[in-house]
Structure 1
Amino acid sequence: MRIGNFSGYLGDRFTAIDEAMAGDPVDVLMGDYLAEVTLAALAVTYDPARGGGWVDYFRKQLRPHLATIAERGIRIVTNAGGFNPEGLAAALREDLAEAGVDLTVAHVEGDNVLDRLGEFHTDGHAMEHLDTGAPLKDWGVDPIAANSYLGGFGIAEALRAGADIVVTGRVTDASLTAGPAAWWHGWTPDDWGPLAGAITAGHIIECGAHATGGNFSGFTQVPGMVKCGFPIAEIAADGSSVITKHARDGGMVTVDTVTAQLVYEIQGPRYLNPDATVHLDTVRLSQVGKDRVAIAPVTGSPPPPTAKVAVFAQIGWQISQMLFCTSPNVAEKVALLRDQLRAQLEGHVDQLDVTPLGTAAEDPHSQWEATVPIRVMATARAPEALKPFPAAVGSLYLQGFPGFHHDGGAQPVREPWPRIDYWPALLPAELVPNTAVLADGTRLEAPVSSRWATPEELEQGRSPEPPAASTAATAGGRRIPLGELTYARAGDKGGNSNVGIWAPDPEHWEWLRSTLSTSAIRELLPEAKDCDVVRHEFPYLRAVHVVLKGLLGTGGSSNLRVDQIGKSVGEYLRSKHVTVPEELL
């Protein structure tokens, strides 16, 4: 079967469905909209009494193509239902009736457990934070959203019952592919091997152009990079797959672009999903044609006995403003700005963060080469406490450092906005239903695996530390940026940043693994000095993978870093200089 992606996040290219419909044939089109930060944003605005809570962006994308979708028999699967998949399903039925198109819409529910948190607490489920171990009751704020990550068999049940369009809430990103594959090939929940293969393919195409050259370290080599096309996964009955793309569109599919997505937002060699545990350290990739990368059958084992739950709560308010200073004396100017703002805001705000971005050029050729941006952010529990912030910033134009200014083409920020925090937790999987609801109200419970994984089967572990590079190799080497010989991709999982860095050239693998020891990573990334650094090796991918625990605070929606979800950590690592033996150059 052929599954094409048309969205990797809320805000992805609006014309994606137009492009997919004009591209190569597919059996299923799937769209992913629900990143953790997207759920956090939706949680602020969703009010069950007023409806909404879904991604209307998807509805607008789909509306012009309803007749053609019916004519071609394409199935549509998406998590654009957000907090209200039932509501989006009803809205789509209205669109179909208005267009006179006969398609059946079903939705999948069970992920929303907000109203059951009290019940879980009473029954002894503490929902401890995955990183800190603290019980949810000690958070000190009231959750506004709690959604469990569902597997793909609710989607499969809806498709088996004849649904043409399936709308879900919070399923895992890979479930949007694994569910249709299970339906198409008739897999059961105990087919862990084929399911693991489909989950792997789903993980690769879930982020759209991430697999075709987008956000790729080797972007200068990507043809048609101005508008990368969307990927397609061809999934066989044994779970093996080929990743490709629409031939008419830009971008490319190579072992390296697929590797980039494979190491994205993982926690180690065990990729835990509600339908199977994927052994990522068994994955092998091979280029089998232009824009065609094969993934051999992947080792799979039973799924974990627990379901991950994403809980969100508003923990306060925040406000920020971008300012600029010009050399010389940048450090002294930033220090003065910090002191002046503290003097005015102390006692009002809870946190004040002043972060200069970059350094000014020596002997600059233009004013902008001499200019350093400064991001200023403040947080507080109540919005009233941040009211003095705009006035405090505005008062420094004549009494601050010389050359103080903001972007003259942008309006200064005046109002704070909600600050949402994230709490990842676990629940016994049997407590979370995965239910397909058909257009006539029929409810179909998804089947489950006959066995759960043991703790030993789920252990991520750490790879042994590599032997230290020899003194002779170090002495005879040359200092160059790590990125001259490597590619990287970074992602986020709650408060943890993950980075996969790999060697495209097989001759460089032993050097890379010996160079990137845990201690070396700490030296290269001083920002991670207080983090628990968990290191893994993926020899078949020639990749070193690290998890930097706590680098992102408690999550992308609440930390004060400018790079909130760690998107640039991999490129930052590639910019660091390391010693390379001359024979490798």
Structure 2
Amino acid sequence: MSDVIKIANCSGFYGDKLSAAKEMVEGGPIDVLTGDYLAELTMAILYSQKMTRDTGGYVGTFLKQVKEVLKPCIEKNIKIVSNAGGLNPSAMASAVEDIAAELELDVKVAYIDGDDLAPRMEALQNAGEPFTNMDTGVNLADTKNTLLTANAYLGAWGIKEALDQGADIVICPRVTDAAVVIGPAAWKFNWQRDDYDALAGALAAGHVIECGQQATGGNYAFFQEVPSFDQPGYPIAEIEANGNFTITKHPGTAGLVSVGTVTAQLLYEIGDPAYKNPDVIGHFDSLSINQESDDRVYVSGCKGSSPPASHKVCINTLGGYRNGFEVLIAGLDIEAKAEILTETFFRNVGGKEQFDDVSIELVRSDKEDPQTNEEAFARLRIIAKSRNKDLVGRLFSARFIEIALANIPGLGVTTPIGNGASFLAYWPALVDSKHIVEQVHIGDKVTPVKPSNQLQLATVEYEAPAAAIAPAPSGDHVRIPLGRLFGTRSGDKGGCANLGVWATSDEAYGFLHEYLTVERLKTLMPDTAGFETVRYELANVRSLNFFIKGILGEGVASSVRTDPQAKSLGEYLRAKMIDVPASLVQ
């Protein structure tokens, strides 16, 4: 066996490029093909599919990829490990076996389950599991929402077991995003449950490549550094026996793999740099990132601790119903016009107080002395939520239409006026790991796999040493956009958002560390002022991470923000003007 395992990603989300799997198999040598298809929102989408189709509940597009690459994967001994099984991994495994039979291939297919807690929720609550919402602190029993799905994030040891038993393809349910990388690496090097440093390295590798092209130049703050965006390659993690790894891509593909692109993705959608996983806690504030050569970045030294005592659970609930609209308001006296329109509408519909929640947002995109018609527009967004479907149904929309010709001048509707729809509320929670057992299925054989924290292993804890931080440069200051010096990447974590910021030199980080406090962030971004925000430091990669609690409400599916996934928060911060030491821009 070679001294590394090359694990390729071919999907960062449900809807990613179908041809990516074939490109990764044909583009160069790899040992394992993985893909991440499941976000919290995806689980809700798959639930809807499963309710309407007996064989639904999994990512059907993955089967198209399997049909294209199964033969060359078997010929090249490339393993396939995917979480596309979603809510119905057994049905997906059967569909893969049908494809193998159609192609006349001898393929051993494994699937894993044990994540679905929905049938057990009442019993688990009776046993003392409160399923407290990690964002709001409310217990599940105290909500009026309707439970739809409840899936524990499983770890990597079921995947290792399947590969140990000779599986060619492993179909996973709701495992952690990095598990599809950790499992094959643990299989390759026969890691033991307490090889925490090696496991932490694989966790970091999995986290970096899980979102596909975001590790190879996609959504990169310093996008001018990317030579070409014409079909960027997908990332490959070349993992060593000690857990260190190299991030790269196939030769001849567009995009960029640099210290910056890897740092950006390391910061994506994290909170505490002590990154929790069912198999290990990876300390992202301990690793080093170095450019090895063009499009090759080496990550080393990630420390690991014993895993937490609980598993995270992805719960989706029916939160109620919503309706709303967005209109253009043009010309002079924008705020006065918005106030009149809003007050008239809500009087017409029976008052704001009857709704569970009302969001009113005036986006001032208009300019003084506009040079085009579009520069005269502001946008008014009104969204109402209720558990009473009728309150936000057809009559809600009709009451707005009634005043379209009887209110302010310059009014224009930009979105179709609908009849309202249900919305899903994400409910992140924890469950004691003693209630979790992974089940590995190959043929008629079922193998139970217990979590590591149930095996009475010795506790290992890592404490990061105090970091040496360069002082901020002194001297004259100049005023520039923050983004001319610092990169950012932001994203959603349930109802919260993270905003990672990194510097490209020790001196710039010294300034960033001193300057960008939580209070300063809220001053620069006043629409975050009302939310509790925690700052985490990763001096090892010259970075800060801000975790903004509750800014996305009850998650992506129910958020009323224009950007419900917080993808633009980072670029918003980079556009802010700040005073920096002149020596940093010379």
| TM-score class normalised by the smaller sequence | over 0.9
Counting only pairs closer than 5 Å after superposition, residues 435-450 of structure 1 correspond to structure 2 as 435-445=439-449, 448=452, 450=455
Whether contact under 8 Å (1:487, 1:574) holds in the other structure is: yes
Q: Deviation of residue 336 (structure 1)?
A: 2.8
Q: Deviation of residue 467 (structure 1)?
A: 12
- Number of corresponding residues: 576
In the alignment, what sits opposite 1:494?
Answer: 494
2:279 is aligned with 1:260: no
444-453 vs 308-317, greater mean Cα deviation: 444-453
103-112 vs 284-293, greater mean Cα deviation: 103-112
In the alignment, what sits opposite 2:430?
Answer: 426
Q: Which runs of 5+ in 2 are unaligned?
A: none
SS in 2 for 1:154: helix
Whether contact under 8 Å (1:189, 1:447) holds in the other structure is: no
Measured in 2, the distance between the counterparts of 1:152 and 1:517 equals 37
Measured in 2, the distance between the counterparts of 1:358 and 1:486 equals 27
Moved over 6 A (4+): 458-461, 466-470
Whether contact under 8 Å (1:341, 1:392) holds in the other structure is: yes
Tell me which amino acid in the other structure corresponds to 1:77. Answer: V
Measured in 2, the distance between the counterparts of 1:361 and 1:62 equals 52
User: What do the CA deviations read for 1:58-98 (whole angstroms, capped 9, x no partner)?
Assistant: 11232222222222221111111111111111111112212
In the alignment, what sits opposite 2:360?
Answer: 354
Measured in 2, the distance between the counterparts of 1:503 and 1:21 equals 35
Whether contact under 8 Å (1:146, 1:312) holds in the other structure is: yes
- The percentage of aligned residue pairs carrying the same residue is 38
In the alignment, what sits opposite 1:163?
Answer: 167
2:388 is aligned with 1:382: yes
Q: Which runs of 5+ in 1 are unaligned?
A: none
In the alignment, what sits opposite 1:526?
Answer: 526
2:225 is aligned with 1:221: yes
SS in 2 for 1:33: coil
SS in 2 for 1:547: strand
Whether contact under 8 Å (1:436, 1:446) holds in the other structure is: no
| C-alpha distance 360-30 of structure 1, shift in aligned 2 (>3 A) | same
Q: Deviation of residue 99 (structure 1)?
A: 2.2
Measured in 2, the distance between the counterparts of 1:527 and 1:282 equals 33
Q: Deviation of residue 425 (structure 1)?
A: 1.3
38-47 vs 234-243, greater mean Cα deviation: 38-47
| C-alpha distance 468-354 of structure 1, shift in aligned 2 (>3 A) | farther
| C-alpha distance 338-119 of structure 1, shift in aligned 2 (>3 A) | same
| C-alpha distance 406-436 of structure 1, shift in aligned 2 (>3 A) | same
Q: Deviation of residue 469 (structure 1)?
A: 7.7
In the alignment, what sits opposite 1:416?
Answer: 420
2:315 is aligned with 1:311: yes
Whether contact under 8 Å (1:301, 1:453) holds in the other structure is: no
2:348 is aligned with 1:328: no
Measured in 2, the distance between the counterparts of 1:105 and 1:71 equals 16
In the alignment, what sits opposite 1:552?
Answer: 552
Whether contact under 8 Å (1:533, 1:548) holds in the other structure is: yes
| C-alpha distance 48-459 of structure 1, shift in aligned 2 (>3 A) | farther
Measured in 1, the distance between the counterparts of 2:385 and 2:37 equals 28
In the alignment, what sits opposite 1:562?
Answer: 562
24, 27, 38: which one aligns with 1:20:
24
Q: Deviation of residue 423 (structure 1)?
A: 1.5
User: What do the CA deviations read for 1:206-227 (whole angstroms, capped 9, x no partner)?
Assistant: 0001101111111122122243
2:254 is aligned with 1:245: no
Q: Deviation of residue 457 (structure 1)?
A: 4.7
Q: Deviation of residue 360 (structure 1)?
A: 1.6
2:408 is aligned with 1:401: yes
SS in 1 for 2:562: coil
In the alignment, what sits opposite 2:277?
Answer: 273
Q: Deviation of residue 379 (structure 1)?
A: 1.9
Q: Deviation of residue 135 (structure 1)?
A: 2.1
Tell me which amino acid in the other structure corresponds to 2:378. Answer: V
Measured in 1, the distance between the counterparts of 2:69 and 2:51 equals 30
Tell me which amino acid in the other structure corresponds to 1:190. Answer: D
Q: Deviation of residue 196 (structure 1)?
A: 0.5
| C-alpha distance 87-460 of structure 1, shift in aligned 2 (>3 A) | farther
205-214 vs 116-125, greater mean Cα deviation: 116-125
SS in 2 for 1:282: coil
In the alignment, what sits opposite 2:129?
Answer: 125
| C-alpha distance 467-208 of structure 1, shift in aligned 2 (>3 A) | closer
Q: Deviation of residue 49 (structure 1)?
A: 8.1
56-65 vs 494-503, greater mean Cα deviation: 56-65
Q: Deviation of residue 257 (structure 1)?
A: 0.3
Measured in 1, the distance between the counterparts of 2:364 and 2:218 equals 24
Q: Deviation of residue 45 (structure 1)?
A: 3.9
Q: Deviation of residue 358 (structure 1)?
A: 4.4
Tell me which amino acid in the other structure corresponds to 1:378. Answer: A
Measured in 1, the distance between the counterparts of 2:349 and 2:81 equals 49
SS in 1 for 2:560: coil
206, 209, 226: which one aligns with 1:205:
209
Measured in 2, the distance between the counterparts of 1:557 and 1:17 equals 28
Q: Deviation of residue 119 (structure 1)?
A: 1.1
Measured in 2, the distance between the counterparts of 1:310 and 1:376 equals 29
SS in 2 for 1:46: helix
SS in 2 for 1:442: strand
Q: Deviation of residue 102 (structure 1)?
A: 1.9
Measured in 2, the distance between the counterparts of 1:83 and 1:276 equals 25
2:497 is aligned with 1:504: no
Q: Deviation of residue 460 (structure 1)?
A: 11
Counting only pairs closer than 5 Å after superposition, residues 108-187 of structure 1 correspond to structure 2 as 108-187=112-191
